[in-house]
A = this chain, B = another copy of it.
Amino acid sequence: MSKEKLSIVKIGGNIIEDEAALQAFLKLFSNLKGKKILVHGGGKRATHVASKLGIASKMIDGRRITDAETLKVITMVYGGLVNKNIVAKLQSLNTNAIGLTGADANSITSVKRPVKTIDYGFVGDVKQVNHQAVNKLIEANFTPVFCAITHDAAGQLLNTNADTITSQVAIGMSAIYDTSIYYCFELNGVLKDINNKESVVKHIDSKIYKDLLEQGIISDGMLPKLENCFDALQNGVHTINMGNTAMLTQENDNFTKITL
């Protein structure tokens, strides 16, 4: 028996920070047919609120460190301000959203990243997605909206990368569903020529990926993203789509579809 379809859509900070873009996206997301999950990052708002509260952003080797005060800001901004406003807007569009951190419904547990050379602070690496708990919400016709926060099941919230949450939730839910990820970002997709926005590679599979790598076409920024994609595909995710939010219309085919 073939599994029912489930779409996991991820939006980044550039959409969240632009009220008109967010509203337009939420309309597309609401119109997306079938069962679905939204995952959102937080964007620069957390940095902005932190700086207003006098909390300096600590960076080591270009990576943000989540100390106790920064975690509070992230919990306020991602878990409160951004998540609840998205939920309220989706409700007005007749999508019965329910906002979640990984602590809610014990949906995503993680492990505080071990200190090696760098102490990242309260950052969590995903340990388990409780697909049965998430499915109870989906089965009750709710649309889960995840922010980029998980928990260690011992009372500690942890800051977790939104792309990772997206792929881990998709992998976890593939035990029950035929899952597809939609990574919405500012580009139209993976580009053959970084200087030509229209040079979208419409389909990538393992073989094409290898060819693109050999031709040096995959840019540095895209490399880890695509590696994560193939990891998710090898762990049960059916299809991954990358492009701008217009790919959700299903009428637009100008985006990158990635399969094994």
Contact = CB atoms under 8 A, between A and B. Distances in A.
Nearest to A92: B155
Interface in A148-202: 149, 151, 153-157
Kindly state the interface size class of chain A when it binds its partner: 35 or more
Interface in A73-127: 75-81, 83-85, 87-89, 91-92, 96-101, 103-106
Q: Is the interface of A mostly helix, strand, loop or mixed?
A: helix
A79 B84 contact: yes
B106 A96 contact: yes
Q: How many copies of this chain sit in the oligomeric assembly? A: 2
Contact of A104 (B87, B153, B155): B87
Given A53-B49, A80-B76, A88 B105 contact: no
A49 B75 CA distance: 13
A203 interface: no
Contact of A88 (B49, B89, B137, B156): B156
Contacts of A72: 81
A153 B103 contact: no
A49 B80 CA distance: 14
A103 B91 contact: yes
Given A49-B53, A53-B52, A140-B136, A103 B80 contact: no
A105 B149 CA distance: 20
Nearest to A137: B140
B88 A80 contact: no
A87 B101 CA distance: 9
A105 B142 contact: yes
A8 to B, nearest CB: 19
Nearest to A87: B103
Contacts of A89: 155
Contacts of A52: 52-54
A124 B80 CA distance: 18
Given A75-B84, A79-B81, 14 more contacts: A75-B81, A75-B85, A79-B84, A80-B80, A80-B84, A84-B101, A88-B155, A89-B155, A91-B106, A92-B155, A96-B105, A97-B104, A97-B105, A137-B140
27 contacts: A49-B53, A49-B76, A52-B54, A53-B53, A75-B80, A75-B85, A78-B80, A79-B79, A80-B84, A84-B103, A84-B149, A84-B157, A87-B101, A88-B103, A88-B156, A91-B103, A91-B151, A91-B155, A92-B154, A96-B106, A98-B98, A98-B100, A98-B104, A99-B101, A136-B142, A137-B140, A140-B140
